[in-house]
Structure 1
Amino acid sequence: MTVFFTADTHFGDHRTINIQKRPFASVAEMDAAMIERWNSVVAPGDVVWHLGDVARRPADVPDILARLHGFKHLLRGNNDPDATLTVPGWASVGDYAELALDDRALVLCHYPFRSWNGQHKGALNLHGHSHGRLKPMPRQFDVGVDVHDFAPVTLDRLLMTRGKVR
Protein backbone atom coordinates (compact mmCIF):
# COMPACT_ATOMS: atom_id res chain seq x y z
CA MET A 1 0.00 0.00 0.00
CA THR A 2 1.30 3.41 -1.03
CA VAL A 3 0.08 6.72 0.39
CA PHE A 4 -0.54 9.61 -2.01
CA PHE A 5 -1.49 13.26 -1.62
CA THR A 6 -3.35 15.61 -3.94
CA ALA A 7 -5.49 18.74 -3.91
CA ASP A 8 -7.32 21.23 -6.11
CA THR A 9 -8.64 18.83 -8.72
CA HIS A 10 -11.68 21.06 -9.32
CA PHE A 11 -13.33 18.37 -11.43
CA GLY A 12 -16.01 19.81 -13.71
CA ASP A 13 -14.94 23.43 -13.21
CA HIS A 14 -14.31 25.30 -16.45
CA ARG A 15 -13.14 28.38 -14.53
CA THR A 16 -10.08 26.51 -13.27
CA ILE A 17 -8.85 25.92 -16.83
CA ASN A 18 -8.74 29.68 -17.45
CA ILE A 19 -7.74 30.97 -14.04
CA GLN A 20 -4.94 28.45 -13.49
CA LYS A 21 -4.04 28.24 -17.20
CA ARG A 22 -4.45 24.47 -17.25
CA PRO A 23 -3.41 22.89 -20.57
CA PHE A 24 -6.81 21.46 -21.47
CA ALA A 25 -9.23 22.50 -24.22
CA SER A 26 -12.34 21.50 -22.24
CA VAL A 27 -13.60 20.34 -18.87
CA ALA A 28 -14.21 16.87 -20.29
CA GLU A 29 -10.59 16.67 -21.43
CA MET A 30 -9.31 17.93 -18.07
CA ASP A 31 -11.44 15.51 -16.06
CA ALA A 32 -10.53 12.54 -18.24
CA ALA A 33 -6.81 13.37 -18.05
CA MET A 34 -6.87 13.73 -14.26
CA ILE A 35 -8.77 10.46 -13.79
CA GLU A 36 -6.38 8.64 -16.14
CA ARG A 37 -3.30 10.11 -14.44
CA TRP A 38 -4.67 9.36 -10.96
CA ASN A 39 -5.38 5.74 -11.87
CA SER A 40 -2.00 5.35 -13.60
CA VAL A 41 -0.18 5.95 -10.28
CA VAL A 42 -2.72 4.92 -7.62
CA ALA A 43 -3.59 1.23 -7.23
CA PRO A 44 -6.97 0.11 -5.86
CA GLY A 45 -5.45 -0.72 -2.44
CA ASP A 46 -3.50 2.55 -2.07
CA VAL A 47 -4.50 5.50 0.13
CA VAL A 48 -5.04 9.03 -1.17
CA TRP A 49 -5.36 12.14 0.97
CA HIS A 50 -7.24 14.77 -1.05
CA LEU A 51 -6.55 18.14 0.53
CA GLY A 52 -9.61 19.86 -0.78
CA ASP A 53 -11.40 21.50 -3.71
CA VAL A 54 -12.61 18.29 -5.27
CA ALA A 55 -15.28 19.30 -7.79
CA ARG A 56 -17.47 22.16 -8.87
CA ARG A 57 -20.74 20.25 -8.35
CA PRO A 58 -21.28 17.90 -5.40
CA ALA A 59 -23.70 15.85 -7.53
CA ASP A 60 -20.74 14.83 -9.73
CA VAL A 61 -18.60 13.59 -6.84
CA PRO A 62 -20.08 10.07 -6.41
CA ASP A 63 -19.33 9.16 -10.05
CA ILE A 64 -15.85 10.69 -9.86
CA LEU A 65 -14.97 8.84 -6.63
CA ALA A 66 -16.20 5.56 -8.11
CA ARG A 67 -13.83 6.01 -11.06
CA LEU A 68 -10.74 6.82 -8.95
CA HIS A 69 -8.56 4.10 -7.44
CA GLY A 70 -7.68 3.96 -3.76
CA PHE A 71 -9.14 4.65 -0.35
CA LYS A 72 -9.83 8.38 -0.40
CA HIS A 73 -9.65 10.73 2.60
CA LEU A 74 -10.90 14.30 2.20
CA LEU A 75 -9.76 17.41 4.03
CA ARG A 76 -12.22 20.15 3.13
CA GLY A 77 -11.17 23.00 0.88
CA ASN A 78 -12.83 26.36 0.47
CA ASN A 79 -14.77 25.05 -2.57
CA ASP A 80 -16.09 21.90 -0.87
CA PRO A 81 -19.66 22.37 0.36
CA ASP A 82 -21.24 20.08 2.96
CA ALA A 83 -22.82 18.02 0.16
CA THR A 84 -19.34 17.01 -1.08
CA LEU A 85 -18.35 15.85 2.40
CA THR A 86 -21.38 13.60 2.82
CA VAL A 87 -20.95 11.71 -0.46
CA PRO A 88 -20.41 7.97 0.06
CA GLY A 89 -16.91 6.90 -0.93
CA TRP A 90 -14.76 8.93 1.43
CA ALA A 91 -12.78 6.84 3.93
CA SER A 92 -12.78 9.91 6.21
CA VAL A 93 -13.61 13.60 6.05
CA GLY A 94 -12.19 16.47 8.08
CA ASP A 95 -10.60 19.88 7.98
CA TYR A 96 -7.14 19.02 9.31
CA ALA A 97 -5.06 15.93 10.00
CA GLU A 98 -1.75 15.00 11.56
CA LEU A 99 -0.18 11.68 10.71
CA ALA A 100 3.15 9.91 10.67
CA LEU A 101 4.45 8.38 7.46
CA ASP A 102 7.90 6.87 6.95
CA ASP A 103 9.00 8.20 10.37
CA ARG A 104 8.00 11.71 9.30
CA ALA A 105 5.35 13.84 11.03
CA LEU A 106 2.90 15.39 8.57
CA VAL A 107 0.45 18.22 9.10
CA LEU A 108 -2.23 18.20 6.39
CA CYS A 109 -4.74 20.91 5.54
CA HIS A 110 -6.15 22.55 2.42
CA TYR A 111 -4.50 25.81 3.46
CA PRO A 112 -0.76 26.43 3.78
CA PHE A 113 0.36 27.41 7.26
CA ARG A 114 2.82 30.04 8.36
CA SER A 115 3.65 27.79 11.32
CA TRP A 116 2.44 24.31 12.26
CA ASN A 117 2.72 21.70 14.98
CA GLY A 118 6.21 20.19 15.02
CA GLN A 119 7.54 22.60 12.41
CA HIS A 120 10.87 23.04 14.19
CA LYS A 121 11.12 19.32 14.91
CA GLY A 122 11.00 18.29 11.24
CA ALA A 123 7.24 18.02 10.67
CA LEU A 124 6.12 18.77 7.13
CA ASN A 125 3.11 20.85 6.11
CA LEU A 126 1.31 19.47 3.05
CA HIS A 127 -1.36 21.72 1.56
CA GLY A 128 -3.30 22.74 -1.51
CA HIS A 129 -5.17 26.00 -2.20
CA SER A 130 -2.34 28.00 -3.77
CA HIS A 131 -2.10 26.18 -7.14
CA GLY A 132 1.70 26.46 -7.08
CA ARG A 133 1.68 30.24 -6.75
CA LEU A 134 2.95 30.48 -3.18
CA LYS A 135 6.63 30.41 -2.38
CA PRO A 136 6.98 27.50 0.05
CA MET A 137 8.57 27.71 3.43
CA PRO A 138 11.10 25.06 4.45
CA ARG A 139 9.34 21.72 5.05
CA GLN A 140 6.18 22.94 3.28
CA PHE A 141 4.80 21.33 0.11
CA ASP A 142 1.93 22.17 -2.22
CA VAL A 143 0.39 18.84 -3.26
CA GLY A 144 -2.06 20.35 -5.74
CA VAL A 145 -2.49 18.86 -9.19
CA ASP A 146 -1.28 22.05 -10.89
CA VAL A 147 2.18 21.43 -9.42
CA HIS A 148 2.34 17.65 -9.97
CA ASP A 149 1.32 16.99 -13.58
CA PHE A 150 -2.34 16.61 -12.59
CA ALA A 151 -1.79 13.44 -10.54
CA PRO A 152 -1.45 12.46 -6.88
CA VAL A 153 2.07 12.47 -5.47
CA THR A 154 3.91 10.41 -2.84
CA LEU A 155 5.89 11.79 0.08
CA ASP A 156 9.12 10.44 -1.44
CA ARG A 157 8.39 12.30 -4.67
CA LEU A 158 7.71 15.51 -2.76
CA LEU A 159 10.98 15.21 -0.89
CA MET A 160 12.87 14.58 -4.13
CA THR A 161 11.50 17.81 -5.63
CA ARG A 162 13.63 19.86 -3.26
CA GLY A 163 16.10 17.30 -2.00
CA LYS A 164 15.73 15.58 1.33
CA VAL A 165 14.46 17.92 4.03
CA ARG A 166 15.89 17.53 7.51
Structure 2
Amino acid sequence: MQFVISDTHYFHADLLGDNDFAPRLFPNVEAMNQQMITAWNERVAEHDTVYHLGDIALRPHDYLTPAEIAGILAQLNGHIVLIKGNHDYRDLFKYLAQHNPILPDGQVKYTFHDVGIIVKFDHNQFFLTHYPLLFGITHQTYNLHGHIHHNMMPTDTNINIGVDAPERQWVNPTLPFGAPLTFAEVMQMIAGKKKFLAAQSH
Protein backbone atom coordinates (compact mmCIF):
# COMPACT_ATOMS: atom_id res chain seq x y z
CA MET A 1 0.00 0.00 0.00
CA GLN A 2 1.05 3.60 -0.59
CA PHE A 3 0.81 6.50 1.87
CA VAL A 4 1.66 10.18 1.90
CA ILE A 5 2.63 12.61 4.68
CA SER A 6 4.50 15.88 5.16
CA ASP A 7 5.90 18.28 7.74
CA THR A 8 6.50 15.90 10.61
CA HIS A 9 8.99 18.41 12.05
CA TYR A 10 10.44 15.96 14.55
CA PHE A 11 12.20 17.70 17.47
CA HIS A 12 10.61 21.11 16.67
CA ALA A 13 9.83 22.48 20.15
CA ASP A 14 8.67 25.89 18.87
CA LEU A 15 5.58 24.24 17.37
CA LEU A 16 4.39 22.83 20.71
CA GLY A 17 1.19 24.24 22.16
CA ASP A 18 -2.03 25.75 20.87
CA ASN A 19 -1.13 28.09 18.00
CA ASP A 20 -2.60 29.07 14.65
CA PHE A 21 0.39 27.98 12.56
CA ALA A 22 0.95 24.36 13.60
CA PRO A 23 -0.93 23.39 16.77
CA ARG A 24 0.78 20.49 18.52
CA LEU A 25 -0.69 19.83 21.92
CA PHE A 26 2.14 17.84 23.47
CA PRO A 27 4.10 18.53 26.68
CA ASN A 28 7.47 18.01 24.95
CA VAL A 29 9.10 16.94 21.69
CA GLU A 30 9.66 13.40 22.98
CA ALA A 31 5.91 12.88 23.35
CA MET A 32 5.26 14.49 19.95
CA ASN A 33 7.91 12.36 18.24
CA GLN A 34 6.60 9.16 19.81
CA GLN A 35 3.00 9.92 18.83
CA MET A 36 4.02 10.33 15.18
CA ILE A 37 6.16 7.18 15.23
CA THR A 38 3.30 5.17 16.75
CA ALA A 39 0.67 6.58 14.36
CA TRP A 40 2.93 5.78 11.39
CA ASN A 41 3.71 2.20 12.43
CA GLU A 42 0.09 1.38 13.26
CA ARG A 43 -0.74 1.90 9.57
CA VAL A 44 2.40 1.18 7.59
CA ALA A 45 3.89 -2.29 7.09
CA GLU A 46 7.47 -3.04 6.05
CA HIS A 47 6.48 -3.67 2.42
CA ASP A 48 4.49 -0.40 2.12
CA THR A 49 5.74 2.86 0.63
CA VAL A 50 5.35 6.28 2.26
CA TYR A 51 5.95 9.49 0.32
CA HIS A 52 7.26 12.09 2.76
CA LEU A 53 6.86 15.53 1.20
CA GLY A 54 9.49 17.33 3.19
CA ASP A 55 10.42 18.93 6.49
CA ILE A 56 11.30 15.70 8.24
CA ALA A 57 12.68 17.45 11.30
CA LEU A 58 13.82 20.77 12.65
CA ARG A 59 16.85 22.05 10.76
CA PRO A 60 19.80 20.97 12.90
CA HIS A 61 21.53 23.06 15.49
CA ASP A 62 24.35 22.04 17.79
CA TYR A 63 22.05 19.59 19.58
CA LEU A 64 20.59 17.84 16.52
CA THR A 65 22.63 15.76 14.07
CA PRO A 66 21.80 13.77 10.93
CA ALA A 67 22.35 10.61 12.99
CA GLU A 68 19.62 11.65 15.45
CA ILE A 69 17.15 12.28 12.63
CA ALA A 70 18.15 8.97 11.04
CA GLY A 71 17.45 7.37 14.41
CA ILE A 72 13.84 8.52 14.18
CA LEU A 73 13.41 7.42 10.57
CA ALA A 74 14.90 4.02 11.35
CA GLN A 75 11.96 3.40 13.69
CA LEU A 76 9.41 3.96 10.90
CA ASN A 77 8.07 1.03 8.88
CA GLY A 78 8.23 0.78 5.13
CA HIS A 79 10.05 2.27 2.19
CA ILE A 80 10.26 6.06 2.50
CA VAL A 81 10.43 8.33 -0.55
CA LEU A 82 11.86 11.64 0.66
CA ILE A 83 11.05 14.87 -1.17
CA LYS A 84 13.18 17.78 -0.01
CA GLY A 85 11.52 20.49 2.07
CA ASN A 86 12.89 23.81 3.28
CA HIS A 87 13.90 22.30 6.64
CA ASP A 88 15.68 19.39 4.98
CA TYR A 89 19.28 19.74 3.88
CA ARG A 90 21.82 18.11 1.63
CA ASP A 91 24.00 16.70 4.42
CA LEU A 92 21.01 14.86 5.90
CA PHE A 93 20.12 13.24 2.57
CA LYS A 94 23.79 12.31 2.06
CA TYR A 95 23.92 10.75 5.50
CA LEU A 96 20.73 8.76 4.89
CA ALA A 97 22.04 7.60 1.51
CA GLN A 98 25.23 6.39 3.19
CA HIS A 99 23.26 4.62 5.94
CA ASN A 100 20.43 3.21 3.83
CA PRO A 101 19.11 -0.08 5.25
CA ILE A 102 18.15 -2.94 2.98
CA LEU A 103 14.62 -4.07 3.81
CA PRO A 104 13.46 -7.72 3.77
CA ASP A 105 12.27 -7.38 0.16
CA GLY A 106 15.82 -6.52 -0.91
CA GLN A 107 15.11 -2.84 -1.63
CA VAL A 108 16.68 0.16 0.10
CA LYS A 109 14.64 1.97 2.73
CA TYR A 110 15.16 5.52 1.40
CA THR A 111 14.93 7.10 -2.02
CA PHE A 112 15.34 10.81 -2.66
CA HIS A 113 13.85 13.57 -4.83
CA ASP A 114 14.83 17.23 -4.78
CA VAL A 115 11.58 18.71 -6.12
CA GLY A 116 8.78 16.20 -6.47
CA ILE A 117 7.33 13.09 -8.05
CA ILE A 118 4.17 12.15 -9.98
CA VAL A 119 1.97 9.30 -8.72
CA LYS A 120 -1.23 7.99 -10.34
CA PHE A 121 -4.22 6.68 -8.39
CA ASP A 122 -7.70 5.71 -9.61
CA HIS A 123 -7.41 7.70 -12.87
CA ASN A 124 -6.09 10.74 -11.00
CA GLN A 125 -2.63 12.24 -11.28
CA PHE A 126 -0.96 13.53 -8.13
CA PHE A 127 1.99 15.91 -8.21
CA LEU A 128 3.75 15.35 -4.89
CA THR A 129 5.79 18.39 -3.82
CA HIS A 130 6.74 20.17 -0.63
CA TYR A 131 5.63 23.63 -1.78
CA PRO A 132 2.14 24.23 -3.21
CA LEU A 133 1.93 24.48 -6.99
CA LEU A 134 -0.63 26.50 -8.99
CA PHE A 135 -1.91 24.58 -12.02
CA GLY A 136 -4.64 26.60 -13.65
CA ILE A 137 -7.40 24.53 -15.24
CA THR A 138 -6.79 20.79 -14.86
CA HIS A 139 -8.77 17.57 -15.04
CA GLN A 140 -8.21 14.89 -12.39
CA THR A 141 -4.81 16.38 -11.59
CA TYR A 142 -3.99 17.48 -8.06
CA ASN A 143 -1.03 18.86 -6.16
CA LEU A 144 -0.43 17.11 -2.84
CA HIS A 145 1.85 19.31 -0.77
CA GLY A 146 2.88 20.38 2.69
CA HIS A 147 4.78 23.47 3.89
CA ILE A 148 1.86 25.67 5.00
CA HIS A 149 0.91 23.65 8.11
CA HIS A 150 -2.54 24.60 9.50
CA ASN A 151 -3.50 26.57 6.39
CA MET A 152 -4.93 25.59 3.05
CA MET A 153 -4.71 26.91 -0.46
CA PRO A 154 -8.01 28.40 -1.74
CA THR A 155 -8.17 25.95 -4.66
CA ASP A 156 -9.54 22.42 -4.87
CA THR A 157 -6.53 21.22 -6.87
CA ASN A 158 -4.14 21.85 -3.95
CA ILE A 159 -4.44 19.40 -1.06
CA ASN A 160 -2.33 19.93 2.04
CA ILE A 161 -1.41 16.50 3.39
CA GLY A 162 0.84 17.67 6.24
CA VAL A 163 0.30 16.37 9.77
CA ASP A 164 -1.21 19.76 10.71
CA ALA A 165 -3.33 20.16 7.56
CA PRO A 166 -6.91 21.51 7.85
CA GLU A 167 -7.95 19.19 5.00
CA ARG A 168 -7.56 16.25 7.36
CA GLN A 169 -10.94 17.20 8.86
CA TRP A 170 -12.60 15.54 5.86
CA VAL A 171 -11.02 12.13 6.45
CA ASN A 172 -13.50 9.68 7.95
CA PRO A 173 -12.86 8.10 10.37
CA THR A 174 -10.61 10.68 12.02
CA LEU A 175 -6.95 9.67 12.07
CA PRO A 176 -4.57 10.05 15.00
CA PHE A 177 -2.03 12.87 14.82
CA GLY A 178 0.90 11.93 12.62
CA ALA A 179 -0.82 9.15 10.67
CA PRO A 180 0.20 8.92 7.01
CA LEU A 181 -2.69 9.11 4.56
CA THR A 182 -3.74 6.55 1.98
CA PHE A 183 -4.59 7.88 -1.47
CA ALA A 184 -8.20 6.81 -0.88
CA GLU A 185 -8.21 9.16 2.12
CA VAL A 186 -6.71 11.88 -0.04
CA MET A 187 -9.72 11.46 -2.34
CA GLN A 188 -11.98 12.06 0.71
CA MET A 189 -10.04 15.25 1.37
CA ILE A 190 -10.48 16.36 -2.24
CA ALA A 191 -14.24 15.74 -2.12
CA GLY A 192 -14.58 17.53 1.22
CA LYS A 193 -12.59 20.53 0.07
CA LYS A 194 -14.59 20.84 -3.14
CA LYS A 195 -17.84 20.92 -1.15
CA PHE A 196 -16.37 23.42 1.31
CA LEU A 197 -15.13 25.80 -1.40
CA ALA A 198 -18.42 25.51 -3.32
CA ALA A 199 -20.33 26.49 -0.16
CA GLN A 200 -17.96 29.41 0.44
CA SER A 201 -18.62 30.77 -3.04
CA HIS A 202 -22.39 31.07 -2.50
Alignment of 1:153-164 (within 5 A): 153-163=181-191
- In 2, Cα distance between the equivalents of 1:132 and 1:46? 27
Partner of residue 84, structure 2: 76
Q: Does 1:85 align with 2:93?
A: yes
Partner of residue 9, structure 1: 8
- Size of the aligned set, in residue pairs, is 162
Q: Does 1:110 align with 2:130?
A: yes
Gaps of at least 5 residues in structure 2 are: 61-65, 101-108, 169-176, 195-202
Greater strand content: 1
Partner of residue 35, structure 2: 33
Moved more, 4-13 or 102-111: 102-111
Q: Does 1:49 align with 2:51?
A: yes
Identity of aligned residues (%): 31
Question: Residues 106-160 of structure 1, C-alpha deviation per residue, up to 9 Å, x if partnerless?
Answer: 10100011227xx612111100001131234112211101134321101111211
Q: Does 1:62 align with 2:82?
A: no
Aligned to 1:163, the other structure's residue is in SS state helix
- Higher Rg of the two aligned structures: 2
Question: Residues 25-68 of structure 1, C-alpha deviation per residue, up to 9 Å, x if partnerless?
Answer: 10000000000001011111110000000012333222111100
TM-score by length of 1: 0.88
Q: Is the 8 A contact 2:149 2:162 kept in 1?
A: yes
Q: Is the 8 A contact 2:23 2:150 kept in 1?
A: no
Q: Does 1:130 align with 2:148?
A: yes
